[in-house]
Structure 1
Amino acid sequence: MRTHDALEYLFVQAELEQRCAFTHEPNLQRALQRRAIAGDLVRPHRGVYARVGYWASLNPAERRLHVIRALALRNPERVFADVDAAATFGLEQSWTLLGRTPVHVLGPPRSYGNIRCVWPADHDVCEVRNAGTDAVTVRRRPDDGPAPEPGTILVTSPASTLVMCGLRLPFARALPLFDSALRKGLVSREEIVAAAQSHHGPRDGLLRLARCADPLSENGGESWLRGLILDDRFVVPELQCEFVDPVTGIRYRVDFAWRLPNSDRVVLEYDGAGKYVDPTMTGGRDIREIVHAERQREAVLRNAHVTTILRANYDDVLRWYPLRQRLIEAGVPRMDVPDVRLAQ
């Protein structure tokens, strides 16, 4: 087979399997290197490649999974850990954690090239199939288990993975991982606490994450926002709070809600503007229908003593301070912080 045809086959097969391409054949390895130098291919990790156009069509989470699948196929006994294990579970995490950073694998702590070895106190190994998808399956791997089957990726257990991420990441960045692990039913709160207790160093941050994690959080953005809310000592909000229209019986759900001391309510919705412009959220309705429905919704909330309706998007969360001020001005209580308006 000519080199061009052999490479074409490599990439077609890799893309069908949603992974990067690699080869053990020296002539093809040199051909891949030449094409990467020429700019026709990208090399996201040592020895694995993707076509430029195909790579550009992937988001950062998909790119990371393509690398992981290729490395797992190349070395089936390798055990992935930390954010890379989390990626195989399909847990919510910031794409900034999955950029051009080392791949985390189980092993005596050290780094070499773009591999970082980690060795947690609890390092049960699990087998993952359908990595990163809604159909993901996770099962504990026996200590004397047979060689992994094709398509299986070895990873640290969900509880151990969360502990590794929780030790390394700020609270608000780690919370989406913990929330989504509970939401997917991959781990229980008790299992997280047990894994945290097995850690020999400081564990207060891990126990706080286990305590604050909530499966009601619907996406990573909401979890990140709630993490910042809790970090700034605002009272814990009620998640996915429902308000019922007494006339129609229609239920309206909001992302965050607080009840003030005078029984008024403050509501915060994440990415609320998306319902006006995102086709996946508009249900085929035109802008007038959407605005009318939103006005009806707000009327129901107002009748339920909701005095303030705040909306936030990704940029608001990223900047945080202006949104923090809006929460303070709306009267959202903070723990151990007096309401200055009452003192005036």
Structure 2
Amino acid sequence: MDPRLLAICVDHGVFLRHEANDLGYRDDTIKKLVDTKAWHRVRRGAYVFGQTWRAADTAERYRLFCLATIRQSNVEVIPSHTSAVAFNGGPLWGLNLSVSHLTRPDGKTGRSAAGVRQHRGVLLDGDVVDVDGRRVMAPTRALLETTTVAPVEACICVADDFLRRGLTTSEQLRSRYALMTSWPSTLTTDLVVRLADGLHESVGETRTGYMIWRAGLPRPELQVEVCDENGTVIGRVDFAWPEHRLFLEFDGLQKYVKHLGPGETVADVVLREKHREEQICMLTGWRCVRITWDDLQRPEVIVQRIRNLMAAAA
């Protein structure tokens, strides 16, 4: 790695073609470095070192893409909408990561280009925060902005995450939303604000809750603790319908990985989870429905299964 370009990456995330040119890299040399994967072209005229790109996950790659668009803007811009969600560490499931959303604080109309959409926006107190030394739209505004460009389900995932982490509150969302009377494309914003509660602990759980709501199933209790005869909590279930003697658990790999103990494997956690389920069923008389990411691709099957179990309980 060229330490001079590395220093630029440390400060700005990416380095630009003209900066490489100024350090003596000719365009044909740059092409060879990209072809050999020593460098990676984030977008036209913006680069990172190849090993940096290969080590980055989807969220970090999107942030690098957004940083490139910021550096290549001719005016001051602030990451907003889905870009601000990424900088605030929010979930990116279901969001369009091919577009960088930037807002001009000067109030002038922005421009749209390949992979970049500039917005005109009026900034109020609290709308902008500092994230790692960079001005970024605050979580409250970033979420509300995202509801104007993304599907409802993806937005609720962001809302639940921000609420759970304490980056915003329901009151802050409602108050800021009340000031959005002149914003375009806000037909779904109210729905997102009403449905999100921050009680779901993962994107998978949020999507499951949304599936239950869309299907018109009875509203479940969330994160229900189950105790043994001594009052000791033996487990907590994601969704429960006590009146139907039924509970539902969303199984994602992250759920098992985060509960790994010293020296344990995922298989050990799966066995422990199975024992926990058996205990809950024995103590409560409830039945369990377990679903995975794949099940969310065919929600009608799961919904019908839940309806059948509820009908049998009745």
TM-score by shorter chain over 0.5: yes
Query: What do you get for the CA RMSD once the two structures are aligned?
Result: 3.3
Q: Does 2:148 correspond to 1:167?
A: yes
Letter paired with 1:38: D
Show the counterpart of 1:85: 84
Question: Distance in 2 between the 1:11 and 1:270 partners?
Answer: 45
Inter-CA distance 159–295: structure 2 relative to 1 (3 Å threshold): closer
Offset of residue 43 of structure 1: 1.4
Offset of residue 188 of structure 1: 1.9
Question: Distance in 2 between the 1:288 and 1:340 partners?
Answer: 32
Question: Distance in 2 between the 1:170 and 1:279 partners?
Answer: 29
Offset of residue 256 of structure 1: 1.5
Offset of residue 304 of structure 1: 4.4
Letter paired with 1:106: T
Question: Distance in 2 between the 1:192 and 1:236 partners?
Answer: 23
What fraction of aligned residue pairs are identical, expressed as a percent?
23
Secondary structure of 2:95's match? Answer: helix
Deviations 1:75-119 (A, max 9, x none): 69321111001111111221x5253x1210014253113210123
- Are 1:60 and 1:98, in contact at CA under 8 Å, matched by a contact in 2? no
Question: Distance in 1 between the 2:276 and 2:185 partners?
Answer: 46
Question: Distance in 2 between the 1:109 and 1:231 partners?
Answer: 36
Matches within 5 A, 1:76-225: 77-94=76-93, 97=95, 99=97, 101-107=98-104, 108-120=109-121, 125-130=127-132, 152-197=133-178, 198-200=180-182, 203=186, 205-225=188-208
TM-score normalised by length of structure 2:
0.80
Offset of residue 307 of structure 1: 2.7
Q: Residue 64 of structure 1: which of 58, 62, 65 is its match?
A: 62
Matches within 5 A, 1:208-287: 208-247=191-230, 249-259=232-242, 263-271=243-251, 280-283=258-261, 284-285=263-264
- Are 2:225 and 2:233, in contact at CA under 8 Å, matched by a contact in 1? no
Deviations 1:270-294 (A, max 9, x none): 126766xx55433234678646633
Secondary structure of 2:181's match? Answer: coil
Inter-CA distance 330–168: structure 2 relative to 1 (3 Å threshold): farther
- Are 1:42 and 1:55, in contact at CA under 8 Å, matched by a contact in 2? yes
Q: Residue 14 of structure 2: which of 2, 13, 20 is its match?
A: 20
Q: Which runs of 5+ in 1 are unaligned?
A: 1-6, 131-151, 332-338
Question: Distance in 1 between the 2:289 and 2:35 partners?
Answer: 50
Q: Residue 297 of structure 2: which of 302, 318, 324 is its match?
A: 318
Letter paired with 2:152: F
- Are 1:72 and 1:153, in contact at CA under 8 Å, matched by a contact in 2? no
Secondary structure of 2:171's match? Answer: helix
Show the counterpart of 1:134: none
- Are 1:18 and 1:66, in contact at CA under 8 Å, matched by a contact in 2? no
Q: Which runs of 5+ in 2 are unaligned?
A: none
- Are 2:79 and 2:137, in contact at CA under 8 Å, matched by a contact in 1? yes
Show the counterpart of 2:273: 294
Show the counterpart of 2:307: 328
Inter-CA distance 248–236: structure 2 relative to 1 (3 Å threshold): closer
Q: Does 2:32 correspond to 1:38?
A: no
Q: Which moved more, 1:198-207 or 1:47-56?
A: 198-207
TM-score normalised by length of structure 1:
0.74
Letter paired with 1:307: W
Question: Distance in 1 between the 2:26 and 2:206 partners?
Answer: 43
- Are 1:254 and 1:267, in contact at CA under 8 Å, matched by a contact in 2? yes
Secondary structure of 2:200's match? Answer: coil
Letter paired with 1:21: F
Offset of residue 318 of structure 1: 2.9
Deviations 1:236-287 (A, max 9, x none): 322211111224713301112223xxx2332111126766xx5543323467
Offset of residue 19 of structure 1: 2.5
Secondary structure of 2:290's match? Answer: strand
